[in-house]
Amino acid sequence: MHIPTELQEAIESLAASHHFKSLAQSREMVSKDYRRGNDSARAFQNRSQLISYLITRLPATFAVCRKVFSEIKNRLPGFVFESILDLGAGPGSASWAAIESFDELKSLYLIEREKDVIDLGKQLATSSFRCFKEIFWDHSSLTSPFAIPSASLAVFSYVLGEMEIEEAWQIVKRVWDSSIPLLTLIEPGTVRGYQRILAIRNRLIAQGARIIAPCPHLLPCPLKENDWCHFAARVERTSLHRRLKKGTLGYEDEKYSYVVFAKPEIQTSAIDGRIIRRPLKAGGYVKFQLCAQDGQIRETTVTRSDKNNYRHARDAEWGSSLHLDII
């Protein structure tokens, strides 16, 4: 997946005024903090770190949000997404993905605590947001009593993992108690990221939340203690991205965990299962590992002789929802 051309051009224009060595050193620091789950403020201490973040982390976040938003659209085909609340927005990665995902989108509300990041996000938006006018930035911390506007969907993207669970829960609960009907949580596809998602999932189910994706049920997660639910989004690397990360491939796979909650009045069809590992596609059959609607993990094989299901099985990917007669 590529980020929009105009956004890429804006990032490369900003990067042109910085020495490559400085960007590479900043990238190492940002990467270490990301892997450790440290507070993102450390990644935004100076301009060089901000630019290195735009080059190496923004594309991954954008790609993940596009994948999640695509799944939301698939699950809610009749829902109109007119406005998005982007919480802990950074320079607007999730908002960029929302613009690319929802044609009917009219308004963006972005809450971010770092003033320099907001300024950078505004700069990117001015140069590249395709004349999208209704963009509202709120310079606030999520731990403060920030204003919650009306919106179709609220998104916490790569932000809650930086907090203690009780602090994260109080923020999520406050947004959940607002009028916003849909709430999305996205975290790194690590054990820690999954556990944060799982902890909040259990609490919101107790509050009456429905789950749109990825879970096909409201039962306890069936994965064992040494396993975790995560998916992957493929990110196409630019030459600068590849050089900064010392990569040899023209792409990378960004692992993520997520959950999409809905208020009880939001209606969607049930799914039979969710593919939680890469399918094995061989000659004449496809083998899946599924999280099924009954709360169990199942191994399922669809053969070419099963004409009703085989075509759908061949098209299915890791993370796809399934409606198969044999499940």
Lowest mean pLDDT among 134-138, 202-206, 272-276, 308-312: 308-312
CA atoms within 13 A on the CB side of 102: 29
What is the per-residue pLDDT for 307? Answer: 84
Share of the chain above pLDDT 70, in %: 86
C-alpha span between 238 and 244 (Å, rounded) = 10
Decide: 128 and 54 in contact? Cβ < 8 Å.
no
pLDDT band for position 240 (cuts 50, 70, 90): low
Segment among 81-95, 237-251, 259-273 with least mean pLDDT: 237-251
Tell me, yes or no, whether 267 lies in a domain.
no
Distance CA 284, CA 304 (A): 5
Strands in the chain per DSSP E = 83-87, 107-112, 135-139, 153-157, 182-188, 210-213, 231-236, 251-262, 273-275, 280-282, 285-292, 297-303, 321-322
Q: What is the pLDDT of residues 43-66, one digit of tens each?
A: 566 777 888 888 888 999 999 999
What pLDDT, in 10s, does the model give residues 137-181? 999 999 999 999 999 999 999 999 889 999 999 999 999 999 999
With bands split at pLDDT 50, 70 and 90, how would you rate the model's confidence at 130? low
CATH code of 237's domain: 3.40.50.150
Other C-beta atoms lying within 10 Å of the C-beta of residue 192: 14
pLDDT of residue 222: 96
Could you tell me which of 298, 325, 299 has the C-alpha nearest to residue 311? 325
Tell whether 106 and 199 lie within a shared domain: yes
pLDDT at residue 107, as a whole number:
93
Residue 72 lies in a domain: yes
Query: Is 296 a domain residue?
Result: yes
Q: Does position 39 have pLDDT exceeding 90, yes or no?
A: no
Q: Which domain holds residue 283?
A: 273-322
- My answer on whether 107 and 240 are in the same domain is yes
Say what the pLDDT of residue 42 is: 52
Would residue 108 count as lying in a domain? yes
Per-residue confidence (pLDDT) for residue 251, from 0 to 100 = 72
153 in the same domain as 63: yes
Residues 84 and 219 in one domain: yes
Instruction: Characterise 268 by phi-psi region: left (phi > 0), alpha (psi -120 to 50), beta (else).
Output: beta
Look at phi and psi of residue 61 and say left if phi exceeds 0, alpha if psi is from -120 to 50, else beta.
alpha
**Cis link prior to 214 (omega < 30° from 0)?**
yes
Whether residue 80 is predicted with pLDDT greater than 90 in this model: the reply is yes
* Rounded Cα–Cα distance for residues 130 and 149 (Å): 23
Of 10-24, 50-64, 277-291, 312-326, which range is least confident?
10-24
Q: What is the pLDDT of residue 77?
A: 93
Residue 327 within a domain = no
Q: Which residue has the higher pLDDT, 245 or 2?
A: 2
Which residues on adjacent β-strands are paired with residue 275? Answer: 290
What percent of the chain lies above the pLDDT cut of 90?
63
| pTM listed for this prediction | 0.90
Residue 41's pLDDT is what?
54
pLDDT at 327: 52
Nearest to 44 by CA among 121, 138, 117: 117
Q: 133 and 231: one domain? A: yes
Structure token digits, residue 123: 């700069």
Mean pLDDT score of the chain, rounded to an integer? 88
How far apart CA 314 and CA 5 sit, in angstroms, is 31
Residues 258 and 278 in one domain: no
Q: How many domains does the chain have?
A: 2
pLDDT of residue 176: 98
Residue 18 confidence (pLDDT): 63
Which tokens sit at 196?
A: 């944060």
The whole-number pLDDT of residue 1 equals 80
pLDDT tens-digit profile of 249-273?
777 899 999 999 999 999 898 898 9
Judgement on whether residues 250 and 310 belong to the same structural domain of the protein: no
Q: How far apart are CA 54 and CA 62, in angstroms?
A: 11
Q: Is 182 part of any domain? A: yes
Lowest mean pLDDT among 46-60, 191-205, 288-302: 46-60
Output the CA torsion 33→34→38→44 (10° steps): 70
pLDDT of residue 56: 83
